[in-house]
Structure 1
Amino acid sequence: MPGNPKVLISGAGPVGLTLANELVRHGIPVRIVDKAAQRTDKSKALVLWSRTLELFDAAGYVQGFLSAGLQAHGAQISTGKQIVARIAFDLIDSRFAYALMIPQSETERILEERLAAAGVTVERTVGLSGFTDRGDSVEAVLTGASGDSETIQADWLVGCDGAHSAVRHGLGLAFEGSTLQSHWALADGHVTGLDRQDHLHIFWHRDGILAFFPIVGDRWRVIADLGPAADGELHPDPTLGEINALMAHRGSPAIAMTDPVWLAAFRINERKVKEYSRGRVFLAGDAAHIHSPAGGQGMNTGMQDAFNLAWKLALVIEGAAKPALLDSYSRERSAVGDLVLKNAGRLTELATLRNPLLQDIRNTVLRFAAGFPQIQHKVADQLGEMDIGYPDSPLTAASGPVANGPKAGERWPHRLAEGPGGCRFTALGLPDPVAGLAAKFPNLVTMGPACDPIDAKTLRLIRPDGYVGFTGGPQDTARAEAYLAALEA
């Protein structure tokens, strides 16, 4: 038996695997269990956005995803007869200015193989059947496929176990929200008749939306709404003939699918918990929030939950930071979850308008707005999750105006990898105050690279997840020390 870990992770989807990899990278012993016998073989969540790629890059293992994925450089929205708008992903303010299209099955494979190379194996057909927060540890009961149970002690428990999370149920947290009153169809197969292989193609037809997302080669994901649904009503999975008829009617008779890999009908849920943690137990990913697939941000948001939580757990477990640091996780990520839920809901509402007059108004307004580069840029950054920040976090502090560059709470745009396992703040600014902070707080701070002369006028502390925690002038060293002293164990 692997024994008692520092962190027990329930759920080995993309979010759980990301969290496990990050904790192991920081030197934290983990166990990760999943009741499924094997990882998914479906394409499911299909895109890694720019901000997620930046985080994997800073962690040192983005290349595996880049090698397995397809870069999509834009999206085209049309009525089937005329172009409504084109969105250029090249405008995303990132070194990864594109959407990386990669099936979830591949994402999980890459993460699981990396974890195995680090000596941690996902324990399959093992489910979390119960847990108790003892105050100084979590007692958890793991049950295998044979029915045999094992009781273990972990310092912390994280539920990455999806929309039907056993951890969330165990905490008794309400999953507030609703199921949209509409049916949807999904098809994953080989498609001909689309002329831009590196673009998303979205058709806003009078009768409903039809959307195409490239995967690899001539393989595409197709999504279409099928109209209103009653409470509890289930729609049968579509046939290939029905999908081809939808594509011909809403898109073009030239578009056709063969050899489908996956055909399914689904409903859209929009739900979220208010609290992402309670005591020594945390929620991340779909266990905490589920959204419309519009924008493709659900998995990315969950992975960013994992990055946010991992460095905080690592610093607390190592004894470098006070346990109170972990209180910031729920506050920060719940606010992000609210934002993503709202944005995805708005996109879905726009795409599924049924009134012809409202459709014409929508199309006219979007066609006009898309002509402004600044609006294009804003939309691209929102899709890439580059606009996410933590302005209201307890970890965000500023002293006076910033001479140049990001403010406290905003993303730091440059790669600042400390090296394998590193999870300290990076101090940036003039050499003397930066060196002083690194010397006084060696377990929390490392010196960053030299800044350009303008940036050097600002003293910054960059969090391990690439967000600015503190900003001030060179004279604000005492305030920076107070900021770090409040975190230090």
Structure 2
Amino acid sequence: MTNGVLVAGAGPVGLTMALELTRFGVPVRIVDKIPEASRTSRAVAVWPRTLELLDRSGATADLLPLGNKVAAANILSRGRLVTSLKLDQIPSPYPFVLMAPQYETEAVLRRHLAAHGVAPEFGVELLDFDQDGGGVSARLRSANGAESAECFDWLVACDGAHSMARHRLGLAFDGDAMGLDWTQGDFHLSGYPFPSSQMAIFWHEDGPLLFFPMAPDRARVITSLGASTGEPPVALEREAFQKLVDIRGPGGVTLTDAVWTSAFRINERQVQSYRSGRVFLAGDAAHVHSPAGGQGMNTGIQDAVNLAWKLALASRGAPAAPALLDSYDAERRSVGAGVIAASGRMTRMGTLSDHSLQHVRDFVAHILMGLAPIQRAIVGRMAEVSVSYPDSPLNCPSQGPAPAGSRVRPVLAETPFGSGDAPRFSVCGGAGAARMATRFPDLLEARSGLSDHDGLVALVRPDGYLAASVPDPDWESLIPYLRQFLPAGSELHSAAAGDAIVGR
């Protein structure tokens, strides 16, 4: 009998982690030292790939009515349009970025978690933990001060940039601060020069100004404050914020009411391993970066989705458990490094202080970002639909138009990959696919064939990435691969125990 998973942190990453594990039947306890759920908006951008993955639990349908769909990103400099990035061309059922306050995203996730009988325990702090080959022993302190020791199979630390678990493990958080202070706020406003379906970034010689529309009369506004000092940055009052908007913005924008404001300093840091034994790091506990592109929460949620199905199979005694759990770091750390690099480039591009370089930037960006392939690459990275795992140790040698590790594009109104009550692979194709699904009912579910995989048996992971594709007559060549993921005690388990994962 498994002791389940302790999830430390009940923000969007921890809630996604708990929800994914719970719907896969893994016992979960999720705790957070804050006394109650936060009511600040914080992260507001939910990108297409995140919406695709949250659709597996049903959360996306509840989240969509709570946000504003933005289908274009305009970049302007010196009053002129540099480029307009078209998000409605993203190859996804959700070709837009949804602007929704983080508290709405968290509330939706909590409701879906509650439907599985689990609720986050606020006011419960993870004080310390020890681990060995058999599990993790955690010391917890409840809101009334009582301490207890609990045992779990694994600990997943989703406890933010100042992660207690990361410090306890002694893991370095390599990187540095960018040297600029920033302020942001959610404001009711008037005079925004674009429809609420379009965001805007104004490059200005004194610093960039960003508008993320959350409603026709409300937007998240972000701007820089200048070089960092020895003192922590302080959020601007509405009147001071208005002065910067007047100087750096398009003119005519009036901030009528401040809903929430904060100040921050950008750090670019990443831990060197997302796993230490039975402890895993996800979200800001593993990586922090510039908010340019609004990808922090999204990357963390996708960390959770990647890890959850692997922990679920490991908890069922899959022979491939060691490789499964190691693959989390192998796959997600490179993604995190890419997000840090890309968001840093965007920030540095927008904060150039040399006037000559600003002119060169505007000219080159206008030319390059006007090219369709460049637009697709930029938008695909922002939307995270271009994320893939080409070097994953879980990839099986494949044939067909897409390599193993590629995202399999979901189809609107079709059941999402991995949406069932167990961490099953999806198998698509002809007679071979049907025979595989019959032979491995605990591991596979048959799906209609993929249009770009005609004549092939395609095996899709529970998180929607291609594991393998082979010609239909060769479907049996995938059996050694599949056997590695069978639950302990299945009829083929003993025969499979010695098989090596194909592709390792």
Instruction: Report the TM-score, using the length of structure 2 for normalisation.
Output: 0.92
Please say if 1:70 is aligned against 2:71: no
Conserved 8 A contact 1:80-1:252: no
Aligned to 1:420: 420
Shift of 1:482: 2.1
Conserved 8 A contact 1:91-1:381: no
Q: Output the amino acid matched with 1:379.
A: I
Aligned to 1:411: 407
Q: Which moved more, 1:92-101 or 1:246-255?
A: 246-255
The percent of aligned pairs where both chains have the same amino acid is 43
Per-residue Cα deviation, 1:117-172 (whole angstroms, up to 9, x for no partner) = 32112111110001111211111011123321011111111000000111111211
Please say if 1:336 is aligned against 2:335: yes
Shift of 1:419: 4.7
Shift of 1:256: 1.3
Aligned to 2:83: 85
Q: Please give the alpha-carbon distance, in whole angstroms, between the structure 1 residues aligned to 2:450 and 2:390.
A: 23
Query: How large is the Cα RMSD of the aligned pairs?
Result: 1.6
Q: Please give the alpha-carbon distance, in whole angstroms, between the structure 1 residues aligned to 2:215 and 2:311.
A: 37
SS in 1 for 2:390: coil
Conserved 8 A contact 1:164-1:287: yes
2:157 to 130, 136, 159: 159
Aligned to 2:366: 367
Q: Please give the alpha-carbon distance, in whole angstroms, between the structure 2 residues aligned to 1:113 and 1:128.
A: 24
Q: What is the correspondence of 1:261-340 to structure 2 with a 5 Å cutoff?
A: 261-324=259-322, 325-340=324-339
SS in 1 for 2:459: strand
Q: What is the correspondence of 1:51-130 to structure 2 with a 5 Å cutoff?
A: 51-130=49-128
Please say if 1:346 is aligned against 2:342: no
Shift of 1:290: 0.7
Shift of 1:5: 4.6
SS in 2 for 1:85: strand
Conserved 8 A contact 1:428-1:456: no
Aligned to 2:389: 390
SS in 1 for 2:337: helix
Aligned to 2:22: 24
Q: Please give the alpha-carbon distance, in whole angstroms, between the structure 1 residues aligned to 2:384 and 2:319.
A: 28
Q: Please give the alpha-carbon distance, in whole angstroms, between the structure 2 residues aligned to 1:20 and 1:144.
A: 19
Conserved 8 A contact 1:320-1:443: no
Q: Output the amino acid matched with 2:153.
A: D
Q: Please give the alpha-carbon distance, in whole angstroms, between the structure 1 residues aligned to 2:466 and 2:418.
A: 15
SS in 1 for 2:215: coil
Q: Please give the alpha-carbon distance, in whole angstroms, between the structure 1 residues aligned to 2:418 and 2:83.
A: 41
Q: Output the amino acid matched with 2:427.
A: A
Shift of 1:60: 2.6
SS in 2 for 1:397: coil
Aligned to 1:439: 438
Runs of 5+ unmatched residues, structure 1: none
Runs of 5+ unmatched residues, structure 2: 489-504
SS in 2 for 1:97: coil
Conserved 8 A contact 2:410-2:417: no
Please say if 1:429 is aligned against 2:429: yes
Shift of 1:80: 4.5
Q: Please give the alpha-carbon distance, in whole angstroms, between the structure 2 residues aligned to 1:194 and 1:136.
A: 58
TM-aligned CA distance change 1:92 to 1:321, over 3 Å: farther
SS in 1 for 2:208: strand
Q: Please give the alpha-carbon distance, in whole angstroms, between the structure 1 residues aligned to 2:21 and 2:60.
A: 16
Q: Please give the alpha-carbon distance, in whole angstroms, between the structure 1 residues aligned to 2:418 and 2:43.
A: 30
Aligned to 1:209: 208
Aligned to 2:131: 133
Conserved 8 A contact 1:137-1:156: yes
Q: Please give the alpha-carbon distance, in whole angstroms, between the structure 2 residues aligned to 1:45 and 1:383.
A: 15
Q: What is the correspondence of 1:432-471 to structure 2 with a 5 Å cutoff?
A: 433-452=432-451, 455-471=453-469
Shift of 1:34: 0.4
Q: Please give the alpha-carbon distance, in whole angstroms, between the structure 1 residues aligned to 2:103 and 2:475.
A: 48
Q: What is the correspondence of 1:175-254 to structure 2 with a 5 Å cutoff?
A: 175-195=173-193, 196-230=195-229, 232-254=230-252
Q: Output the amino acid matched with 1:410.
A: S
SS in 1 for 2:342: helix
TM-aligned CA distance change 1:300 to 1:56, over 3 Å: same
Conserved 8 A contact 1:315-1:321: no
Shift of 1:259: 1.6
Q: Please give the alpha-carbon distance, in whole angstroms, between the structure 2 residues aligned to 1:129 and 1:450.
A: 49
Q: Output the amino acid matched with 2:439.
A: K
Q: Please give the alpha-carbon distance, in whole angstroms, between the structure 2 residues aligned to 1:5 and 1:101.
A: 37
Conserved 8 A contact 1:396-1:470: yes
Conserved 8 A contact 2:175-2:270: yes
Q: Please give the alpha-carbon distance, in whole angstroms, between the structure 2 residues aligned to 1:200 and 1:313.
A: 38
Conserved 8 A contact 2:130-2:136: yes
Q: Output the amino acid matched with 2:356.
A: L
Q: Please give the alpha-carbon distance, in whole angstroms, between the structure 1 residues aligned to 2:38 and 2:483.
A: 45
Conserved 8 A contact 1:59-1:417: no
Per-residue Cα deviation, 1:180-222 (whole angstroms, up to 9, x for no partner) = 1111111211111113211111100111101111113411111
